[in-house]
Amino acid sequence: MRGLARRFLFVSGLFTVVLAIASCSHRRITNLAITHVTVIDGSGGAPLLDCTVIISGPRIASVGRATATAIPDETQVVDGSGKFLIPGLADMHVHLTGAGEPSGSRRFILPLLVANGITTVRDMGGNIEFLKALREEINSGKRAGPQIVFTGPYLDGNPPSFQPSMVVENAAEAALAVDKLQGGGVDFIKVQSRLQREAYFAIATESKNLGIPFVGHVPDSITAAEASDAGQASIEHLTGVLLGLSGKEEELRREKLKTPPPGESAEQARKRNRLWLRTLLDSTSQARTATLIAKFVKNRTWQVPTFPTLVHVGFVTPQTDLGEDSRLRYVPRNVQAIWRQGRKEQLEGYTAEDFALRDEIVRRSVEIVGKMNAAGVPILAGTDIAAPNVFPGFSLHEDLEYMVKAGMTPMQALQAATTRPAEFLGRSAEQGSVQPGRRADLVLLDADPLADIRNAQRIRAVIVNGTLLNRVELDRMLAGVERFAATH
């Protein structure tokens, strides 16, 4: 009987343990805690050492000293010892649907954005219905992805520079187009390079009347100073800015707007462009530079330099050619073919003098961004994906590196991708910093980005709207993109 009793007690105890394990395995985890982490909250202040950050659902619940923060029951704990927590990053110039739909955005672009810590994007030109569908899939939890704000089609002259575009050739057409886009649910109006003056200023007026910001290129027919005074909220790619610094701005603008001579050869066109760029650089005026920067500060005209596009698309040289870059394994074959053709056109037939001019344009652009930042012009991070040679996600980190080269501190560069976008979007109370009540979009790093901005690439985990994606899951996402790229 004693043996039977012992066996009964053993089985009974085992049954109790099994029940306990089953209960634990099905227990609902409602909170996430990152403990003993250094918090870089995006405010510009000193890092907060040895913190515990509690996340409840999609929001940050608390940020406090690890020794004084109680961890609630039913909490998943991540040890942040030796690690750094920053706000999720924003890429403020993307084209999500620019790599083929329906798969390009979903299986190529979005996973690379998330794996690189990007949790907010501003789409600067795409099909409204495609973008709405993509945003709904993300918001519903069907797929991981960043928050999306968008402009929809460009407003441009005839013929338009890119598609999708709405051609507007006079004030009436321009106002109607703004009305239609706002009615379609866009967050911004995007202006392009070929707009004529009448249409451009009508867009500015109608956008102001409707209370919707307008952003984009400075059209060839408009000066950067006029765009700033008209209320253009952001200028992309420094369009019109270097020209606005020239003492020969009007002469150079007239030359740019001229129709090319009949029968002009490719070599003649390159020679003409070389002379134009040389004159542009040689005619820079310090007085005009100071005046334009002061206007940007006064009007709070935001700048989105998009350094990756500037370097690898507009002014590519043999030194900046990415034809053998290891990141190409994440780029679909059909997209790579387009990129190769673009690189070929940018390199073929050009001389050492052309490449030296391109290098100088980049140096001057970096220099002017540094001057604007020092004067108080607000700067936003952006890349212009999926332009050729611009890698979704990865290139945003390159943009931050160029900002530091321009003289911005690592903190200022981080803010250009965190707190500044939140401010621009009117969402400072919602996102962009590591504070209670903010959206739980965060990046956990293995090294200090304030010591070296390149450390922002050393990602241990990404938290998107409260959902934790650890390094294993991020690597799985990258592997999925690589497999997709190899077959498309």
Domains of the chain in sequence order: 88-237+301-428+472-487 (3.20.20.140)
Which pLDDT band holds residue 89 (cuts at 50, 70, 90)? very high
User: If you average pLDDT over every residue of the chain, what do you get?
Assistant: 93
The pTM assigned to this predicted structure is 0.93
Give, in order, the Cα–Cα distances in Å from 294 to each of 181, 216, 287, 371. 32, 20, 11, 11
Q: What backbone phi and psi angles, to 5 degrees, belong to 102?
A: -90, -5
Q: Between 3 and 487, where is the model more confident?
A: 487
Over residues 250-268, the pLDDT tens digits come to 999 999 999 999 999 999 9
Tokens of residue 294, six digits: 């002061």
State the average pLDDT over residues 361-377: 98
Residue 242 pLDDT class (50, 70, 90 cuts): very high
Percentage of the chain beyond pLDDT 70 is 94
Judged against a pLDDT cut of 70, whether residue 15 lies above it is answered with: no
Helix (H) or strand (E) holding 459, with range, is strand 459-464
**Cβ atoms of 207 and 229 closer than 8 Å:** no
Q: With bands split at pLDDT 50, 70 and 90, how would you rate the model's confidence at 322?
A: confident
Give every strand in the sheet of 302-304, ordered side by side.
Answer: 165-167, 154-156, 189-191, 214-216, 234-236, 302-304
Which pLDDT tens digit goes with each residue over 380-398? Answer: 999 999 999 999 999 999 9
Tell me what the mean pLDDT of segment 10-33 comes to.
46
Q: Residue 145's pLDDT band (boundaries 50, 70, 90)?
A: very high
